[in-house]
Structure 1
Amino acid sequence: MTHSSPEHPPYAPHTSHAPHAAHDESDLAAIAAGVERTNELLTRVLAEVATTPSTHAIFVDAGYVYAAAGRLVVGTEDRRSFDLDAEGLIDAFIDKARTIFPDSRLLRVYWYDGARRRIHTAEQQTIAELPDVKVRLGNLNANNQQKGVDSLIRTDLESLARHRAISDAALIGGDEDLVSAVEAAQGYGARVHLWGIEAGGGRNQAEPLLWEVDSQRTFDLDFCKPYVTRRAAYEPYATSGEGTGHQAAPPGRDDVRFVGAQVAAQWLGARGRDSLAELLPGHPYLPGSVDQELLVEAEALLGLSLRGHADLRRALRDGFWDHLRTQY
C-alpha cells in the first residue's frame, strides 16, 4: 500500500493555462465590441448618406454660349450684333437640370466670362446679382478674346468635387482645354455632363471633350431662340454691298448711351469713389484724358468709329454721367 507524503501530493488536473484562456476570452470580447461599434457607426453614416440629397452645379462658359447661340439663332458670333437674355437662359438651364437630376439640389450656377481688366460690365453686374449665380471673370485681350476662363472652370470644378460639395456637374462649353477640368472632377468621384448648343453644321465642341464626359446633351434652335434677339441698329457695321465702302446706319442714341454707362462702370471699378468725387464738380464736362479713354473704350465695344458723329459722342458722355451720378 502506497502512502502519499507532503512532498509528493496526489495527482491533480493541470491548470497552468487557465489565466491565458481567460485573457483570450477578454480579447475576443473586446474585438467583438469594437466590431459592433464599427457596425453602428457605418449604419449611422449610411443612414445619413441615404437622407442627404445629391448636389449639382452648372458651369457656363459664357463665351461659348454667346458664340454658339448667336450663330444658331441670328447667324453671327459677334456679341455686339445681338442681345442675350442671360437671366432667362440661366433659368432655363436650372429648370433643365431639375428634370435631369430630380433628386438633387442646386448648389449654384457659375457664369464664366471675360472683361477688360476683369472689371464687370453693366450686363455682368446684372447677372452677378441674380440668385444662385456667381460670375467669375477672366481677361479680354486686345482682340476681345477670353483669357484665363478655362483655368477658372478647372479650379472651381476640381475644388467642389474634391470637397464632395457636388455629385454632378453640368458643363456648358466646348473648348478642348476643359478636358483636364473634367478629368480632375471625375478623379474625385463627380460625374460631369456636357451640355452644348446645336451647331448649324459640324460641331462646336471638341471631340476629346465629348469622349471624356459621362453624358452629353444638345440644346436646339427652339430652346435657344427665345433668349437671343438681333440688334437692328447693329446690322451690320461692316461695309454693305460689295466694294462700295459704305457703312450701314450707325447705332441709335440709346444704344450709345447704354455703352457710355458700361464704360462708366468699368472706369469707376478701376479707379474708385475718390476719383468720382474729383470728377463730379466738372459735370457736364469731362477732362480730356477721361473723355479720350471713354471714346476709345466705347468704339471698341461698338466696333464703330464715333469720330464723325458729334451727336452720338454727346449721347456717349450722357450715358457715362448717368451711371456715375447714380453711384454717388
Structure 2
Amino acid sequence: MTDPSESPEQSPEQSAEQPARHEQPPEHLRAIAAAVQRTNDLLTRVLAEVATTPSTHAIFVDAGYVYAAAGRLVAGTEDRRSFDLDAEGLIEAFIDRARTIFPDSRLLRVYWYDGARRRIHTTEQQRIAELPDVKVRLGNLNANNQQKGVDSLIRTDLESLARHRAISDAALIGGDEDLVSAVEAAQGYGARVHLWGIEAAGGRNQAEPLLWEVDSQRTFDLDFCKPYVTRRTTHEAYADGAFAGRPAPGRDDVRFVGAQVAAQWLASRGRDNVAELLPGHPILPGAVDQELLVEAEALLGLSLRGHADLRRALRDGFWDHLHTQF
C-alpha cells in the first residue's frame, strides 16, 4: 500500500513548470505595465525636449514714451523736432541689455510702436522697420500730434504671444497706465513682464499702477541714454535772421529739397496716397505741411522756422515735383 503521508514524486520538469505558472502575471496586468512604460517613455522624451529648448523673450517699445522721456532727460525737451534720437543704436542697446538679463533666452524680436498720420511710415520709421529683428507697428496721430491706438496694439501683441507660448519673458518699455491690462493679459498666460523705464529728472514718468503690476522693474539712467540723443542747435531761435552762423540756404536749394521730399513720399507712401493732395493745390493740409517742414529741415540740417519766403519755396518745390508726376 501506498503511504498517504508520502507525496507522489514529481519529475524535475513538473517541478519547474509549477512555479513558472504561478509567477506569470495575468494578461490585464501585463497590458497596464506596458501602458505605464509607454507613458514613461513619452514623458522622458518631452522633458528632454523641454530641457534643450531655450526660453524666448521679446522687447516692446512705446516709442512715444522713449522720445519724450529720453528727450527730457538728455536734451531738456520732449519736442521731437528739437533733438535727434539714434533709434538704431538705442534698439541695439536694449537688445544687448536683454542678453545680460535673460542669458539663457533667445530674442524673438523688438516691437517698436509709434504714431504716424494715417498710419503711413515716415522716413525715419521706414529706416527703423528695415532693421533686423525689428517690427514697426503704427498707431495714428491726432491733430495735436498725440498717439492713438498704440496701447491697444501693445496689448494685442503681448497677449497673443503669451497665449501661444511664443515668449516666456516680455521687456516692456513704456509708462502709460493703459498698459496695465496688457500686462495682466500676458501674465494670465504664464509670461513674466518686466517694465523698463528711462530716468525722470524729477518724480516719475511711469504710472504707479503699472509699476505695481509688473514682475520686475529697471530704469536706464542719463549715462545710458546720452549717446543716443543729440540736441538740434538749428532749432534755436534765430532773432537776427542768421542760421547759427551759417549762411541761409537759397530759394533754389530749398525748392530742390521740397522736390526731394515729394519724391520720397511718392516712393514710400504710394501714388494714390500722395495724389489725394492734388485737389487742394496750392494749399497743403496743416498736418502735411508740418511734416514736409520737419523732413525738409532734417535734409537741410537747418531750421526754416521764421523764414516764410523759404517755406513758400519749399512748398513750391514739393508741388512742382508732384505736377511732373501726375
State the alpha-carbon separation in 2 of the partners of residues 274 and 185 from structure 1: 39
Where 2:284 maps in the other structure, the secondary structure is: helix
Matched, 1:310 2:298: no
What does residue 203 of structure 2 align with?
202
| TM-score normalised per structure 2 | 0.77
State the alpha-carbon separation in 2 of the partners of residues 208 and 323 from structure 1: 49
What does residue 9 of structure 1 align with?
none
CA apart distance, 1:174? 0.3
Deviations 1:109-163 (A, max 9, x none): 0000000100000000010011110000000000000000000000000101111
Deviations 1:277-308 (A, max 9, x none): x89xxxxxx95724422775233675899796
Contact 1:69 1:224 in 2 (8 A): yes
Percent of residue pairs identical? 71
State the alpha-carbon separation in 2 of the partners of residues 161 and 307 from structure 1: 50
1:297 maps to which of 274, 282, 288: 288
State the alpha-carbon separation in 1 of the partners of residues 291 and 192 from structure 2: 40
What letter matches 2:288 in structure 1?
A: E
State the alpha-carbon separation in 2 of the partners of residues 302 and 183 from structure 1: 41
What does residue 182 of structure 1 align with?
183
State the alpha-carbon separation in 2 of the partners of residues 204 and 101 from structure 1: 25
CA apart distance, 1:225? 0.6
What does residue 36 of structure 1 align with?
37
Distance 1:79 1:306, change over 3 A: closer
Deviations 1:160-196 (A, max 9, x none): 1111111111100000110111111111111111100
CA apart distance, 1:32? 1.6
Contact 1:260 1:298 in 2 (8 A): no
What does residue 107 of structure 1 align with?
108
Aligned residues: 292
Contact 2:170 2:194 in 1 (8 A): yes
What does residue 271 of structure 2 align with?
273
What does residue 211 of structure 1 align with?
212
State the alpha-carbon separation in 2 of the partners of residues 185 and 218 from structure 1: 21
Contact 2:151 2:179 in 1 (8 A): yes
State the alpha-carbon separation in 1 of the partners of residues 278 and 120 from structure 2: 22
Matched, 1:49 2:47: no
Question: Where do 5+ consecutive residues of structure 1 fail to align?
Answer: 1-20, 241-245, 280-285
CA apart distance, 1:249? 6.4
State the alpha-carbon separation in 2 of the partners of residues 130 and 176 from structure 1: 29
What does residue 99 of structure 2 align with?
98
Distance 1:311 1:48, change over 3 A: same
State the alpha-carbon separation in 2 of the partners of residues 63 and 39 from structure 1: 52
| RMSD, matched Cα | 3.8
Contact 2:262 2:321 in 1 (8 A): no
Name whichever of 179-188 and 25-34 sits farther off: 25-34
